[in-house]
């Protein structure tokens, strides 16, 4: 009885501590909200520069769970600050026409996290920035270090100033998977693989110590395609020859300020205070005062949110890995999205739907669950696909039946292939004295165990399931894209393609971003003028956002994104692959997913 009361009291104390912490968190958040709103109304003075500080910024497809500022910032802590792509591009286009905005000032470095800040998203962001410049307003930038992503965006600017002790860190593109094959063998972890498609390299890190020839071939072609496009656009924006840019990159990789200036990549070398002083004088600010400016996040919060009444286009963001069930943060839950698509089909106020895909794929069952609802939806109203930075494997599975598929040249797509992976810990367990015995009703009754390797007969069953799923994948693509199944098979095999190649191969229809997809959907939905937009998932009201945050917590991926330096990169690489295993929850054990660790930086 004493133990019971001790446990009971301990539980009460723990509950009280949790409640107290939650109350303090909420009160602190409200205090921040009040302090940020009370008496500090944001004003945009005439002649102000719109300041885009990229430090800690992660451009995502879907809107953030919580609005910027106040409690959202408190709960986010040091994690990258998400900015929705559509809102960011809308803000820049609004600034291009806003008489109060003199120009745009760009500084800092992106903090990519999850599937955010990929080159497809940056392409749309860059185009919107170019519209500001085309309107006659200067786009200026200052950097301590310019990475490939920052250079790609800032290249459209009029002035780019680099710190004298800075660098242009633009050695080219690379994908560097980590392999565990030897480690698993030493630890006594068995891995058996079933797959369809000779290029399907998603499981290679678990069974090899290096890239297979087929995987190396496809990654080489993909990276060359993406780099060719980036190099061409950067060179054109800076008014230099592509060959000269490549020569400089090959010669230095980490390009010094002097070389960057001589080549025309930057317009000047200088210190931050010199740039700020020049902006102060340009905007007519008094000595000692900052130049006239408005922060990008504050400006976005001021954008008018009005209903046009012309008709609604729903934008559904499938961003993250596709998993069976409801899904969580950075996941596309098949059940959750199927339910939302069904709701949109039955909603007469929605005239058309845009599915924005930024996903490497995942569960084949979840992808099919979503595709079923998309096919029913497309029979009733237009469905347009907008491919983000990744729309491959399962991400392509859910895209195949769009009335029109838009892609960016740098989108990673295709990867039409299927695999299954079976682990066993028999040797590992035996090394520490653990064994199993079993009783079963038939030859196949114990085939789902991880205590021993699968027999040849059992493995043949898994292979048959994988082959069947691959055949179904081919059929869906063939039907959705109006192609011969044999032709789909020829370009499938699990091979990844760039968006530019996807258009040539017939896997996509047109080069274009989210804005073009929305406009096309509005046209198909017979909406005249600017459509109203409904977004899923969207930014939630405070109460719902808090409940969601406490339900899922902060994902390890989001927390680890704040860890800097080489150690942070290695930790994230290992964590990403461990988390991917945790997301292998397809009830049939069959997956359509991109090769592991295909993050291009």
- The answer to whether 237 and 454 are in contact (CB under 8 A) is no
- Work out the angle between the directed axes of helices 364-378 and 334-346 (0-180°, nearest 10): 10
In this structure, what are the phi and psi dihedrals at residue 310, rounded to the nearest 5 degrees? -80, -25
Could you check whether the bond before residue 537 is cis, i.e. omega within 30 degrees of 0? yes
Q: Measured between alpha carbons, how far is 418 from 566 in angstroms, rounded to an integer?
A: 33
Q: Which residues pair with 63 in a beta bridge?
A: none
The residue written with tokens 């693509």 in the block is: 477
Q: Measured between alpha carbons, how far is 519 from 513 in angstroms, rounded to an integer?
A: 10
Residue 238 has which token pair? 């800076």
Residues constituting the chain: 601
The residue written with tokens 């719109």 in the block is: 50
Q: Measured between alpha carbons, how far is 598 from 601 in angstroms, rounded to an integer?
A: 10
Q: Measured between alpha carbons, how far is 571 from 561 in angstroms, rounded to an integer?
A: 10
Q: Measured between alpha carbons, how far is 260 from 424 in angstroms, rounded to an integer?
A: 53
**CA separation (Å) from 151 to 215, 266, 278?**
29, 9, 22
Give Cα 208 to chain centroid, integer Å.
27
Pairing of strands 496-498, 412-414: antiparallel
Pairing of strands 510-511, 404-407: parallel
Radius of gyration of the CA atoms of the chain, in A: 26
Eight-state DSSP code of residue 433? T
Q: Which helix (H) or strand (E) holds 457?
A: helix 456-481
Q: Measured between alpha carbons, how far is 264 from 476 in angstroms, rounded to an integer?
A: 48
- The answer to whether 419 and 466 are in contact (CB under 8 A) is yes
Q: Measured between alpha carbons, how far is 59 from 192 in angstroms, rounded to an integer?
A: 38
Catalytic, 123? Answer no
E strands present in 148-232: 159-169, 190-196
**Which one of 359, 393, 399, 415 is the catalytic residue?**
393
Q: Measured between alpha carbons, how far is 596 from 177 in angstroms, rounded to an integer?
A: 7
**Which one of 137, 200, 381, 454 is the catalytic residue?**
200
Residue 275 has which token pair? 């740039």
- The answer to whether 262 and 281 are in contact (CB under 8 A) is no
Catalytic, 37? Answer no
E strands present in 483-572: 496-498, 510-511, 532-536
Tell me how crowded residue 58 is: count the other CB atoms within 10 A of its CB: 22
Give buried/exposed letters for 496-533 (b at 16+ CB in 10 A, else e).
bbbbbbbbebebbbebbbbbbbbbbbbebbebeeebbb
Residue 151 has which token pair? 């250079």
DSSP 92-105: HHHHHH-TTEEEEE
- The answer to whether 599 and 118 are in contact (CB under 8 A) is no
Residues labelled as active-site residues: 200, 393
């Amino acid at each position: 009885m004493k133990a019971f009361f001790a446990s009971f009291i301990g539980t009460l104390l723990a509950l009280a501590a949790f409640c107290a912490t939650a109350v303090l968190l909420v009160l602190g958040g409200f205090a921040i909200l009040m302090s940020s709103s009370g008496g500090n109304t944001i004003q945009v003075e005439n002649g102000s520069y719109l300041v885009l500080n990229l430090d800690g910024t992660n451009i995502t497809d879907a809107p953030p769970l919580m609005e910027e500022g106040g409690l959202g910032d408190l709960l986010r802590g040091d994690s990258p600050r998400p900015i929705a792509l559509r809102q960011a591009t809308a803000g820049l286009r609004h600034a291009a026409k806003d008489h109060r905005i003199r120009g745009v000032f760009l500084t800092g470095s992106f903090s990519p996290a999850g599937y955010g800040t990929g080159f497809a998203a940056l392409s749309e962001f860059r185009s919107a920035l170019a519209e500001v410049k085309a309107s006659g307003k200067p786009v200026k930038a200052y950097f301590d270090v310019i990475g490939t992503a920052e250079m790609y965006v800032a290249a459209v600017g009029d002035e780019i100033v680099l710190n004298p002790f800075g660098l242009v860190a633009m050695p080219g593109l690379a994908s560097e998977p980590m392999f565990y094959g030897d480690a698993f063998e030493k630890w006594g972890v068995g891995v058996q693989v079933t797959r369809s498609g000779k290029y399907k390299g998603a499981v290679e890190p678990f069974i090899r110590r290096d890239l297979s020839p087929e995987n190396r071939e496809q990654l080489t072609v993909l990276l060359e395609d993406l780099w060719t496009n980036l190099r061409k656009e950067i060179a054109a924006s800076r008014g230099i020859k592509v060959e000269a840019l490549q020569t400089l990159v090959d010669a230095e990789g980490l390009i010094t300020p002097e070389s960057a200036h001589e080549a025309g990549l930057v317009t000047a070398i200088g210190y931050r205070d010199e740039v700020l002083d020049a902006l102060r004088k340009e905007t007519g600010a008094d000595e000692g005062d900052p130049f006239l400016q408005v922060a990008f996040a504050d400006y976005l919060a001021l954008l008018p949110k009005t209903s046009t009444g012309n008709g609604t286009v729903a934008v559904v963001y499938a961003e993250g890995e596709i998993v069976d069930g409801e899904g969580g943060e950075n996941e596309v839950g098949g059940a959750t999205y199927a339910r939302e698509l069904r709701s949109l089909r039955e909603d007469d106020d929605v005239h058309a739907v845009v599915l924005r895909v930024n996903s490497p794929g995942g569960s084949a069952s979840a992808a099919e669950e979503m595709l079923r609802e998309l096919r029913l939806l497309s029979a009733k109203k237009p469905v347009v696909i907008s491919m983000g930075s990744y729309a491959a494997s399962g991400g392509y599975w859910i895209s195949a039946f769009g009335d029109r598929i838009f892609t960016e040249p740098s989108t990673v797509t295709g990867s039409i292939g299927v695999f299954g992976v079976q682990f066993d810990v028999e040797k590992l367990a035996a090394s520490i004295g653990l064994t199993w015995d079993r009783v079963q009703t038939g030859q196949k009754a114990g085939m789902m165990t991880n205590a021993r390797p699968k027999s040849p007969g059992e493995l043949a069953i898994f292979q048959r399931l994988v082959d069947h799923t691959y055949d179904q994948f081919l059929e869906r693509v063939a039907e959705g894209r109006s192609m011969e199944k044999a032709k789909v098979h020829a370009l499938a095999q699990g091979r990844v393609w760039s968006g530019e190649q996807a258009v040539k191969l017939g896997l996509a229809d047109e080069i274009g971003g989210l804005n073009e997809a929305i406009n096309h959907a509005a046209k198909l939905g017979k909406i005249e003028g600017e459509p109203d937009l409904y977004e899923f998932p969207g930014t939630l009201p405070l109460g719902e956002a808090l409940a969601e945050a406490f339900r899922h917590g902060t994902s390890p991926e989001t927390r680890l994104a704040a860890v800097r330096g080489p150690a942070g990169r290695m930790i994230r690489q290992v964590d990403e692959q461990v988390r991917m295993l945790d997301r292998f929850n397809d009830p049939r054990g069959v997956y359509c997913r991109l090769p592991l660790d295909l993050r291009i930086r």
